[in-house]
Structure formats: C-alpha cells, structure tokens
Chain A
Amino acid sequence: MKNNLPKLYLLGTKINRQHLQLIWTIIALALLVLGIGAPTDGGGASG
C-alpha cells in the first residue's frame, strides 16, 4: 500500500496534466477558429 501511494500520486498528476492540456488546447482552438473564421448570423448587426 505504501509503495502504491507514489504511483497513485503520479497517476493523479498525470491525469490532471492531461485534462489541463486538453482544456488549454480546446480554448486555444476555439480562439483560433473564432479569430480566423468570418461567418455571420447577424449578431451585432448595425444598420
């Protein structure tokens, strides 16, 4: 049990890092497509 603790800690940090990386990646890709795309649904239209 004692030997498993470091392994569990390592697994926990790994999962957290993987999740964080996924979140950052999705945020970055969302900003990227929002920044380079130019579709319009009329939101914020001014005439």
Chain B
Amino acid sequence: MILWLGLGAGLVTGLGWSRWRGHPYRSPTLVYLWLVFLGFLPQFFVIYLGNNRFTFPDWLVALSIIISQLILLIFAWLNRHLPGMPILIAGLVLNLAVMIANGGFMPINPNTAERIVGTERIASFEFGNRIGFKDILLPATETRLEWLADRFLPPVWLPYQVAFSLGDIFIALGAFGILAYQKSST
C-alpha cells in the first residue's frame, strides 16, 4: 500500500540519515497525540471492527469517516510545524474534499475498480455500492471532483494492484518527510 510505503521509506531514510551523520535517530515530536486515537476511533468502529462496515448503514459509515477525518485534520494542523506535515495536510484536505463532495466516500470508477477486483467480480457491483473500506463505485461522469478520486493505478505488471488518489500521494510524501527529516544537531 502506498501509505505504508511512505511511512516505511521515511523511517528507513531517517534511520540511515542519522546513522550517516553519527547521531541517534530523533523521532518527530508530535503534540496532542491523544487526538489521533480519538480521531481514529469512529473509523475503527464502523470500518475495521468485525463486520460493521457491512451491517452499519452507509450514512452512518460516511458520517463517521468524515467526523474522524475532521478530528485528524485538527491533530495534523496542531502539528503543522513538523517538516512534511503541511504536505500531509494538503493530501488530507484533497481526500476530505472529494469524499464530502461524493456523500462521504472516496469515488472509484468502474474501469479503475475492474483492475482491483477483477472483471468477473466488478459485474456483480452496481453504481453506489461500496468497494474496499472507504470507496464507492461511481461512473466518472457522475463523480464530483473526479480528478481527486481513486484514479491512479500502479503498472499492470506489478502483482499488487491498488487504486489511489492524488491526496493519497501527498499523504504518503508527507509521512515520508515527517519520519525522514533529521534536525541538524547544531
């Protein structure tokens, strides 16, 4: 996943950088850490816990995602002094904008979704059905802010296929920057 790649690469780069400079790795100092856990909680309950994402009504899931992202936006804003955080905030705002504009879910068009779930499975989906954890199947023509939707794909030859948005790219870059940057010891 693109987000884990950003985090992992950032940590490895930061560790390598600090080792090269001969000082211990300094992890970024995040403030109001409790806000992350509070912010993630609504998503945890409606998406990641058991079968809740299939049993809870769409409006409740969408509302929980938006509330969750707004709390996480506050947390990110309070930590905006960290290198990389402004890029991450930009990604967050882009994702939030397209999700709010499309009923609380990240839109994905059938052509993109086909690469992810396969030709046979996509036939069983209807427009408006949810795909994955936060996505909703929508034709590009009926998608608001389509350029911010999950529309990017890795090369076909890669065994792992994932659809991601412009916001996701910014988030991954921001996460990379936060963990990779090592303040000068002077």
Contact = CB atoms under 8 A, between A and B. Distances in A.
Contact of A28 (B30, B68, B106, B121): B30
A24 B124 contact: no
A47 to B, nearest CB: 4
Helix, strand, loop or mixed for chain A's interface? helix
Interface in B78-101: 88, 91-92, 95-96, 99
Interface residues on B, range: 35 or more
B168 A47 contact: no
Contact of A26 (B7, B91, B167): B7
B75 A32 contact: yes
B165 A39 contact: yes
Contacts of B129: 46-47
Interface of A: 18, 21-22, 24-26, 28-47
Interface of B: 1-3, 6-7, 11, 24-25, 27-30, 33, 36-37, 39-40, 43, 53-54, 68-69, 72-73, 75-76, 88, 91-92, 95-96, 99, 106, 108, 113, 116-117, 121-122, 124-126, 129-135, 150, 160-165, 167-168, 171-172, 175, 178-179
Given A41-B162, A47-B126, 14 more contacts: A18-B27, A25-B28, A26-B27, A28-B36, A33-B7, A38-B165, A40-B132, A40-B135, A41-B1, A41-B160, A42-B132, A45-B121, A45-B132, A47-B129
